[in-house]
Structure 1
Amino acid sequence: MSHSKNPFVRGYDGLSVQRLLAISYDVDCPLSYLPLHVSQSHLPDSQVERHACVFCDDFALITEGQNVPPELDAQCPSHGIARNLVYAVMAEEAGQPLHVGDTYSEEAAREVVRRLRFETGFYSRAWEISSAHITEEAGRFLAELADVATPSGFLFVAFRIPY
């Protein structure tokens, strides 16, 4: 990650779930992954998977069993089959979109996001005191703090590691 110099940065930024169609359109081409057009985003998986579609660089439209307005159809020069739906877990890194992974259900994707956000309520980061990260004065303060019982209400616990 781009924040690797900061030992306290956790996880990914801007986690989200995107519902994408895996579209096959040519024997020699890899699948394309595109969202449904907003006008069809309400369609259940059963009315999307294994159905004919048209698509452009930005979205796909299911044509089988659906009425597609001519102005939208005109924006989609490519034809294919929506093989299945995937729920992509997306994040941001240094302001750029990052594909973390895919699941085959929205519930599974939301669980991945929950876990990656560390919503367990507990943080488990350890940081070794080093002159590269803190001042000498701050190091002495933490060393002294490690020798006394940590007052309640602190957001961290200082302790010594033997040897």
Structure 2
Amino acid sequence: MGWNTSALFARGEDVLALLPVPVTPTGATATADEATSGLAEEVVYVSRAEEWQQLWDPSVIHLADADTGQNSLSVFFFGVSSSYGFILVEDGEVVRRLIYVDGEPSIDEGEPLPIEAEIPHPSWGPDEDWVWAIIKDVTGITYDEDRIFEVYACQD
């Protein structure tokens, strides 16, 4: 699929409060496809359906400097450059940071999550399925094409 996007999942916190820029609701909604892979740079997409709120920033601009919060999972998919990774924060502390570039780990900090040993690695390295396996294991959330997201404008 070649995803190029980033997301922040936060448990017990308002995911919008973790952004480094103020946002305002647009009143619009978006499909899961648009939210997870849209090209708009001035908006983010939020779903609050579960215990874990999720915020997608396909431009990756706004999540780069986001606060990690107390309990969060940040992920990114860069299919074009074969870069995939995640940062897991528990009780305000980074407990796992794993970033792959061109199939090789470039940052590998913290104890591996048990799920990491169970995820198949294609010969070219981790991919979108790998990231989604991490998301599902940590948050219980899977890709749901019927999910509707609220659209927020970023005030840079």
**TM-score, normalising length: structure 2:** 0.23
Richer in strand (by share)? 2
Q: Which has the higher contact order (CA 8 A, sep 6+)?
A: 2
Larger radius of gyration: 1
